[in-house]
Amino acid sequence: MTSPLRHPALALLLGLFLAAQLGACSRDEPPAAENSVPAAAAQEAAAPAKPAEAPGGLDQKLGIYIDCYNDLDGRVHDSIRRYSSWIKDMQAGPTGKEVVVYGLYEIGPEQKLGNCRTQFGQAAGMSPALALDGAGKAYMEALDQLQPLVIEAHRYYDRENYKDDQFAQGKALHPRLKAAMESFMAASGKFSDAIELENDKRLEAQMQRLEKEEGRQLPYLHMATMHEAKLLIRMLGEESFPADQAATRLAAYEKITDELLAQLKAQPAEGMSAHNWSFFSQASEDFRKAAKERVRRVRDQVPYSTGEQMMLKPGSDWMVEGSPGKALKTYNTLVERSNKL
């Protein structure tokens, strides 16, 4: 069973809703209250403006799919990682001789899943029809198959019933649980890829229009920085990649980020906006450093030491220099900081 940590889309989808939020930036429309963007014209360049709602159903369709994906998918992958972290052989399942038994996480309230089932059905009926609709249907079906098994397994391990039946129920449950996890991971990958395809086309078109209408101001530079970061992490999140291509992607990220940071220095924000931009700037530097470490390790073919190999597992791999986990963790932080702007 492939570790879900190594699927780069897991991290990438945390950033996809950023593009839907940025949309078509307009200086005529007031900012949302939560963005804390100053209203004065002299201060407008300090942070991206709230987008005007684009016509048609594509934005709404993507927003529904992405919003639910972000609500559900990370927790499911966390639960799968939690389970696979203490099962020595996922093919064989629990032996009953495990020294540490972590069980697995619950994957969300039924109400949240129910809301997304309804919303996915609504999104599929919106125009335009996309291949994404079929991927979304398969994703929710896989999640519906996995959810009751996770509930059963969570209760079993959380109540420590394995101490009373010598892991009998855990062993019997494992084949169905493993199969459902694998089905979900496959559906999750296809769904995230389908979202990425549509989102990338939309984002690139928006970036071209925004640069033409407003120039290389902060709204454009913010969007372009996150776009380059997303393209970069797609490579760095993999176990291996062409080092020369990754270096090219890294250089593109550094160039646009430096341009953004220079403009922030020339036109400093104020108040809470300045606070949020400061955190974003630091996150962009942390991701830059982690990306460089990752590229160097692959480029120079630096093997992991024995100690590093012991840490290359969910929850600790982010501490290993040049690891996919560290790159993914710093990227996730960058996305979180970006979404607060």
Smallest CA-to-CA distance from 187 within 149, 133, 140, 119 is with 140
Establish whether the linkage from the previous residue to 109 is cis, with ω within 30° of 0: no
What is the pLDDT, as a whole number, of residue 313? 77
Residues 257/225, Cβ–Cβ less than 8 Å: yes
How far is residue 150 CA from its own chain's centroid?
22
Q: Is 51 helix (H, G, I), strand (E, B) or coil?
A: strand
Dist CA 229 CA 249 (whole Å): 9
Task: Output the tens digit of pLDDT for each of the chain's 341 residues.
Answer: 544 333 333 333 334 333 333 332 232 332 233 333 222 222 222 333 333 334 347 888 888 998 898 889 988 998 998 999 899 999 999 999 999 999 999 987 888 889 999 999 999 999 999 999 999 999 999 999 999 999 999 999 999 999 999 999 999 999 999 999 999 999 999 999 999 888 888 888 889 999 999 999 999 999 999 999 999 999 998 888 999 999 999 999 999 999 999 999 998 888 778 989 999 999 999 999 999 999 999 999 999 999 999 888 767 889 999 999 999 999 989 988 988 88
Radius of gyration of the chain (CA): 22
Domain ranges of the chain: 10-52+216-341, 54-203
Q: Is 49 exposed, middle or buried (0-12, 13-18, 19+ CB in 10 A)?
A: buried
What is the pLDDT, as a whole number, of residue 259? 97
What is the pLDDT, as a whole number, of residue 59? 82
Dist CA 128 CA 136 (whole Å): 14
What is the pLDDT, as a whole number, of residue 36? 30
What is the pLDDT, as a whole number, of residue 27? 27
Dist CA 284 CA 254 (whole Å): 9
What is the pLDDT, as a whole number, of residue 257? 98
What is the pLDDT, as a whole number, of residue 53? 39
Helices (H) and strands (E) counted in the chain, each on its own, are 11, 2
